Structure 1
Amino acid sequence: MLNLLRNWKERHFSDPQRIILGLMLLAGIGIVYFLGSLLTPVFVSIIIAYLLDGLVIPLHQRIGLPRIAAVLVVFMLFIAGMTIMILWLLPLITKQVTQLVQQLPRMLVTLQSSIMQLPAPYPELISKKQIVDIIGFLNVSIADMGKQVLSLSLASVVGLIHLLVYLVLVPFMVFFLLKDKTAILSWGQRFLPDNMDLTASVWQEANAQVSNYIRGKCWEVLIVWAVSDVVFRVLDFQFSMVVSLFVGLSVLIPYLGVTVMGMVVSLIAFVQWGISGNFIAILAAYTIIQILDGTLLAPLLLSGVVHLHPVAIVVAVLLFGGLWGVWGLFFAIPLATLINAVLKVGFTRNDPLADLPVSDPG
């Protein structure tokens, strides 16, 4: 057993480039873990600049615009989009979120009264004791919700200050990250070891998949959001703007997002209409949107982008969601893709067994 472990260690960690790759990964994880709360505006700016650079490169390389001109065009579009979102979209969403929070107690009361009536028609499925337990859980949920709303209101001033800081710092840093990309990368490379071919290969593998995945997901979020909003408005569904927004964002969380939002849509529709034709129409519309997204839209936008097994995706969502909460859920797939690239490139390079065909378990 010891010889097996020793051979595995010599096989994978005798290469200095693999050691460099491991140190780079540990340094990145350490910076995010220990300095994440302090450098959040910097990380947000880097992510936005990374996404916008995908628009700058085609303008510069394919159309022939100078780099600075392409940066200015993309940055002005970014500022215009942010302005529209802040002045028009954000007030609408804030208004509907406020209305939704105000009506949550009424929704839960309506749900309680409906649950209380379940033992009569379905005594074999649910007992009165189970009903009492469910009602107790809902009452505790209402109390916790009130405390959370109060804490949010008390923290609103601090949140407003943070928002103002983001509105000033993030666009400023995004512009200079785009404008001085080459200079910043050259400066950073001066502090890195010379022989980093393996790390560069891992970055190229991960960058090719992650960049296409993120851009494809951004388009998917926008399309699902827009389609859901139009459908919900046509069906006169309450809180159509904010619910459709979260339906769009739910595509970022594989499997779990669709399920949770399905429950939310069902609850709001049930409180609004009860078990009726409108209720069934909303559920049918939501189901059709998700089917079209899963069978047509997502494969079209993400075809061949991420090669991860569904089990690996679920594990990534659970793991990173548990570590970093909501942000971990959103970035679970890019992080899993990075890990996959590290394993694929970093631990199969110069491996005589890597090129052997894999037998089909079926």
Structure 2
Amino acid sequence: MAVIGVLLLLSFFGRVAPSLLAITLALILATALNPVARFFERWMSRGLAGTLTVLLVLGTIVGLGFLAVPPIVKQLSGLGESLPTDLNQIEARLNSWLSLNPTLDRVVPDDAPGRLAEQAGKLGNVLAERLPGVLTLVGGGIFTALVTLIMVVFALGNPVPIVNGFLGAVPAHYRLNATRALAQTLKQMGAWGRATVLVMLVTGTVTAAGFYLLGVQNWLVFGILAALGELVPTIGPIVASLPPVLFTLASDPEKALWVAVFVLVFQQVSGFVLAPFVVGGAGGLHPLSVTVGVLLFSGVFGIVGAFLTIPFLILIKAVYQHFYLRDAPDIPDAVAMALISGVVEEQMDREEEARKAADRAIQEVRDAELERQLQEGELDLEAVLDEHSEHDSTPVVRPAPRGNAESGGPPRGPERPDT
């Protein structure tokens, strides 16, 4: 019965996972927008401040859409028109490259480029066949987005019952730690929201300007794609940098090389300068933790899980710090540095060598004494064997004596009481 219950529970969560994810996304967005609502709360009620915050975000998105959508549509149409030509150029360059590499030419089938172009040409038909399903998926996504937006308005407008309900569900002796963890989460989540928007703006602007100066077609589309790639930590920028390089490679390999160099340099600057100073204060998360989190959460929740990686990690870190780390011993960083740098290993090796040297010295003295006793006829074999047995930590079981140790007679029995 327990197994059946677990399976039913997993099936239930599998069916409601999208709804739970939408609720989680709404709470995280409300938390990230909370600093903006607190700013407006100085001049109006909390409900109006929350509504105004959401309307301001929507107005910004719509305004950017009106400015960016017409050129994006124009560039996308140009990209679609040039796609067959680009594919033919890629096929010609692939054939030329294979002819210069006989080894690969023997491995790759002769009709491989043609088959690749044929499959790419069928892409439009495949998309047309799947258009109803895509429209259904898009419609469901729009509905979920609207519901999520409404939940964000409610959560921002009246967050007191939500916070009280959360704290009330925590046992009394953990409530103070839960309050501190929630305060840290609210602070770092707001910083994460501001940092993410700033990094997206900088990345999109610099990337689009760089592509424009390099003469890359569809530079605006690729710039917006680079900005959206910042929503997925670590992996998103890498994936967003591939399309401009590949599409430029079809028409101008030399230009594609410069595009790749520009993208690589900007990613290094963004990863080592922009992200640490802007995003680093949002949560103080280790890059390895972020990468592992992206892999885990994207595997469970898809692309939305990858976007929610840093909020999830901020929450996990706050719970860990205020529920476990406060009671854990304070281990200095010098201990970890000693382990990483090999100082502890060297110290252990020195201690082991000293112990072995001391054992050798003791053994040499013992052997010399035994040699002297052997030469002078004073060697007590039983005592030597007993000493070695005690040295090896092996208990020695001696047989009980048959006679009295003093008189050599039979062993004494228990004493009888005087009568």
Asked if TM exceeds 0.5, the reply is yes
2:266 is the alignment partner of 1:289: yes
Q: Following TM superposition, by how much is the alpha carbon of 1:109 offset from its aligned partner in structure 2, in angstroms?
A: 3.5
2:313 is the alignment partner of 1:332: no
2:131 is the alignment partner of 1:153: yes
| Cα contact 2:234–2:290 (8 A) shared by 1 | no
Q: Following TM superposition, by how much is the alpha carbon of 1:250 offset from its aligned partner in structure 2, in angstroms?
A: 2.1
Range with bigger deviation, 177-186 or 241-250: 177-186
- Residue in structure 2 matched with residue 178 of structure 1 by the alignment: 156
Ranges in structure 2 where 5+ consecutive residues have no aligned partner: 1-9, 342-419
**Residue number among 229, 233, 249 corresponding to 2:212 in the alignment:** 233
Change (3 A) 1:274 1:38: same
**Residue number among 306, 321, 324 corresponding to 1:347 in the alignment:** 324
2:94 is the alignment partner of 1:111: no
2:169 is the alignment partner of 1:198: no
**Residue number among 309, 312, 316 corresponding to 2:293 in the alignment:** 316
**Residue number among 262, 265, 278 corresponding to 2:241 in the alignment:** 262
Aligned amino acid, residue 79 of structure 1: L
Aligned amino acid, residue 238 of structure 2: T
Q: Following TM superposition, by how much is the alpha carbon of 1:57 offset from its aligned partner in structure 2, in angstroms?
A: 1.9
Change (3 A) 1:135 1:308: farther
Distance in structure 2 (CA, Å) of the matches to 1:43 and 1:281: 42
Q: What TM-score comes out, normalization by structure 2 length?
A: 0.65
Q: Following TM superposition, by how much is the alpha carbon of 1:224 offset from its aligned partner in structure 2, in angstroms?
A: 0.7
Aligned amino acid, residue 290 of structure 1: Q
Aligned amino acid, residue 266 of structure 1: V
Distance in structure 1 (CA, Å) of the matches to 2:233 and 2:210: 22
- Higher-RCO chain (CA-CA 8 Å, sequence separation at least 6): 1
2:53 is the alignment partner of 1:74: yes
Range with bigger deviation, 30-39 or 335-344: 30-39
Q: Following TM superposition, by how much is the alpha carbon of 1:269 offset from its aligned partner in structure 2, in angstroms?
A: 1.0
Q: What TM-score comes out, normalization by structure 1 length?
A: 0.73
- Residue in structure 1 matched with residue 63 of structure 2 by the alignment: 84
| Cα contact 1:55–1:74 (8 A) shared by 2 | yes
Residue 336 of structure 2 aligns to a residue whose secondary structure is: coil
Q: Following TM superposition, by how much is the alpha carbon of 1:82 offset from its aligned partner in structure 2, in angstroms?
A: 3.3
Q: Following TM superposition, by how much is the alpha carbon of 1:216 offset from its aligned partner in structure 2, in angstroms?
A: 0.7
Range with bigger deviation, 258-267 or 92-101: 92-101
- Residue in structure 1 matched with residue 408 of structure 2 by the alignment: none
Distance in structure 2 (CA, Å) of the matches to 1:144 and 1:308: 44
Change (3 A) 1:329 1:98: farther
Ranges in structure 1 where 5+ consecutive residues have no aligned partner: 1-28
Q: Following TM superposition, by how much is the alpha carbon of 1:193 offset from its aligned partner in structure 2, in angstroms?
A: 3.9
Distance in structure 1 (CA, Å) of the matches to 2:331 and 2:115: 55
Aligned ranges for residues 135-146 of structure 1 at < 5 Å?
135=113, 138=116, 142=120, 145-146=123-124
- Residue in structure 2 matched with residue 51 of structure 1 by the alignment: 32
Distance in structure 1 (CA, Å) of the matches to 2:129 and 2:25: 25
| Cα contact 1:45–1:170 (8 A) shared by 2 | yes
Change (3 A) 1:348 1:296: closer
2:188 is the alignment partner of 1:209: yes
Distance in structure 1 (CA, Å) of the matches to 2:66 and 2:284: 39
Residue 308 of structure 1 aligns to a residue whose secondary structure is: coil
Change (3 A) 1:34 1:98: farther
Distance in structure 2 (CA, Å) of the matches to 1:314 and 1:216: 18
Residue 283 of structure 2 aligns to a residue whose secondary structure is: coil
Number of positions where the alignment pairs a residue of Structure 1 with one of Structure 2: 328
Residue 238 of structure 1 aligns to a residue whose secondary structure is: coil
Distance in structure 2 (CA, Å) of the matches to 1:116 and 1:291: 34
Q: What RMSD over aligned residues (CA atoms) do the two structures have, in Å?
A: 3.6
Change (3 A) 1:167 1:93: farther
Range with bigger deviation, 218-227 or 83-92: 83-92
Distance in structure 2 (CA, Å) of the matches to 1:30 and 1:186: 31
For 1:30-83, what per-residue CA distance to the aligned partner results, in whole angstroms no more than 9, with x for missing partners? 9975523235554443333222212122343xx665534543542332231233
Q: Following TM superposition, by how much is the alpha carbon of 1:274 offset from its aligned partner in structure 2, in angstroms?
A: 1.7
2:18 is the alignment partner of 1:37: yes
Aligned amino acid, residue 350 of structure 1: D
Larger-Rg structure: 2
For 1:200-257, what per-residue CA distance to the aligned partner results, in whole angstroms no more than 9, with x for missing partners? 3433444443432333122101221122223323433222222111211223334433
| Cα contact 2:91–2:117 (8 A) shared by 1 | no
Residue 75 of structure 1 aligns to a residue whose secondary structure is: helix
Change (3 A) 1:262 1:167: closer
2:205 is the alignment partner of 1:243: no
Distance in structure 2 (CA, Å) of the matches to 1:220 and 1:291: 14
